[in-house]
Chains A and B, each alone.
Chain A
């Protein structure tokens, strides 16, 4: 009995630092956010704040000046792009590098480099790249003989082009991140397995498709979860490049939240958006995990046949 008490005491001690941090900084704020989201807070304290229950939620989805649908749509689009464009690109690079190519290390190092550069630096750099008067993008297009292709308003000023111009560096920066994760997976596929497949007459592509990709599924799942939740919470690059403009064309939930908090002084509404973001991230993480489970299950069936 005494031993047991000691054990649980030790467990408590070992868990204490992590639990305090975790509950204090993550869990408690979520509960507080939910609470705040029921109030119309004009200042930072609840003093004088009016309890409006779901009023913020209602306003959030119906107001004409809060473009929440647009923000959500943009985040979803970014998530879709990163799953269907960024990750395949990363996978492609990982598979190519995984074939044991000369200079493999060098390529690997170059591809991972953008991940290490501060996002703000990358944002400022791309602002200069897109500059309508002196930017390098126009210069490059000019060299290729397709100058004057810049949309009206400049790359970041045109409603139609701004979103894509913001997405490009966002996706570009983390290609290397996912590539390295996948590369690790590709490398850990046992050579005997490849060998066996090749002996069966499989081409390189077939080996990748039927042997390598299925065996790195756990890593793909992690990548997809990171890519999707990362897109839902993307902030830095968009904030540096456009702050959500022009005309809310590049608004995402996090930029919307910041403008609610610090431009419009609406802390209740800011919390409402925070709650929305958390719910979405959880929902997607669960969905993706479920989707991968389903597939694995399906695959097993096929093999059994």
Chain B
């Protein structure tokens, strides 16, 4: 990836004739890109503004402009009655745990599938790949029944286990791509040094899989952070509610107060966006790496 990007700079388009016709095209391209950027940005901008407005402003003439009075009290309402910090923390706990479990399971499985030579490895790999197309929602009844028999409804595990299981297929797919890039000689060298399979995995493979870590984390994050159906059906106690459920509950209660809802939406979004702004390049690159390796 990086190689291609740098070579782009050496490649001078201007020396070719075709380039000339491109001037108009380039302007058109810019217009198109800017329009789509506005379409992406405007709803977010609007969310920020109405989170600071009173109902009079939202309902009145100042629908789109910046708020006249900056009503920060909307935020304290969302924080206190909306419990946003708690829900955010729960979302983080659930997502991070799911990512961790998924990572460990995926790396171990991929190691067995790609580095150890055995007969059924191809079939087993295909078996795991079934998971990519299975919709998470379709297993809700059996999982619900099983969890309630195990008395595990209303716990973090009720979300973490399904989330990590459903992220597994994608994670193995990505892992396979990354692991194939690690030269096999390293394994052999380790074997000659007297390392067991386990030691080879821990000492040689895992440290080299760091780039995969970020990529898998992003894909798993996208899967878990937004999930509503399981979280809504399995969790009834406030203390385990995740952000999506919390926001749903809050907007059910305050349908007519736009300010606090807007504030809650912003609070739910802001930390992720902040991380994204600072790390957008590496997040995008990791995401891209997943696509290329997969």
Q: Do A and B come from one complex?
A: yes
A-B pair number, CB within 8 angstroms: 294
Is A264 part of the contact surface with B, judged by Cβ < 8 Å? no
Interface size of A in residues (CB-CB distance below 8 Å): 104
Say whether B226 contacts A118, CB under 8 Å.
Answer: yes
CA distance A117 to B251 in the complex (A): 17
- Among residues 1 to 37 in chain B, which have CB atoms less than 8 Å away from a CB atom of chain A? 1, 4-5, 7-8, 11, 13, 16-18, 21-22, 25-26, 29-30, 32-33, 36-37
Is A126 part of the contact surface with B, judged by Cβ < 8 Å? yes
Is B166 part of the contact surface with A, judged by Cβ < 8 Å? yes
- Given A10-B116, A199-B16, A239-B228, does the pair A278, B142 have CB atoms closer than 8 Å? no
CA distance A136 to B42 in the complex (A): 10
CA distance A107 to B41 in the complex (A): 11
Interface size of B in residues (CB-CB distance below 8 Å): 105
Say whether B197 contacts A10, CB under 8 Å.
Answer: yes
User: B58, B143, B148, B247: which contacts A124 (Cβ < 8 A)?
Assistant: B247
Say whether B112 contacts A118, CB under 8 Å.
Answer: no
CA distance A7 to B142 in the complex (A): 35
Q: Which residues of A contact B29 (CB under 8 A)?
A: 96, 99, 101
In the assembled complex, the CB of A99 is this many whole angstroms from the nearest CB of chain B, namely 7
Main secondary structure of the interface of A (DSSP, over half): helix
Q: Which residues of B contact A33 (CB under 8 A)?
A: 138-139, 141-142
CA distance A51 to B59 in the complex (A): 55
CA distance A175 to B36 in the complex (A): 10
Q: Which residues of A contact B18 (CB under 8 A)?
A: 198, 201-204
Say whether B168 contacts A7, CB under 8 Å.
Answer: no
User: A18, A120, A134, A254: which contacts B226 (Cβ < 8 A)?
Assistant: A120
Say whether B265 contacts A26, CB under 8 Å.
Answer: no
Say whether B137 contacts A235, CB under 8 Å.
Answer: yes
Closest to A31 in B: B142
Question: What string of 1s and 0s marks CB contacts (under 8 Å) between B124-157 and chain A?
Answer: 1000101111111111111111101000000000
Please choose the segment from A54-62, A149-157, A188-196, A290-298 that sits at the chain B interface, where 4 or more of its residues have CB less than 8 A away: A188-196
User: A16, A36, A236: which contacts B141 (Cβ < 8 A)?
Assistant: A36
Say whether B43 contacts A125, CB under 8 Å.
Answer: yes
- Given A11-B116, A180-B284, does the pair A97, B33 have CB atoms closer than 8 Å? yes
- Among residues 246 to 271 in chain A, which have CB atoms less than 8 Å away from a CB atom of chain B? 254, 257-258, 261-262, 267, 270-271
Is A25 part of the contact surface with B, judged by Cβ < 8 Å? yes
Closest to B42 in A: A136
CA distance A99 to B26 in the complex (A): 9
Say whether A120 contacts B243, CB under 8 Å.
Answer: yes
- Given A18-B168, A99-B29, does the pair A119, B258 have CB atoms closer than 8 Å? no
Question: What string of 1s and 0s marks CB contacts (under 8 Å) between A1-45 and chain B?
Answer: 000000110110111111101101110111011001000000011
Not counting A25-B161, A184-B288, a sample of 11 additional A-B residue pairs whose C-beta atoms are within 8 angstroms of each other reads A18-B109, A21-B165, A124-B247, A125-B46, A129-B46, A133-B59, A201-B17, A202-B18, A203-B21, A233-B136, A235-B137
Q: Could you give 12 example pairs across A and B, Cβ below 8 Å?
A: A8-B118, A15-B112, A25-B139, A36-B141, A92-B32, A109-B280, A118-B243, A128-B261, A172-B40, A180-B288, A201-B17, A204-B25
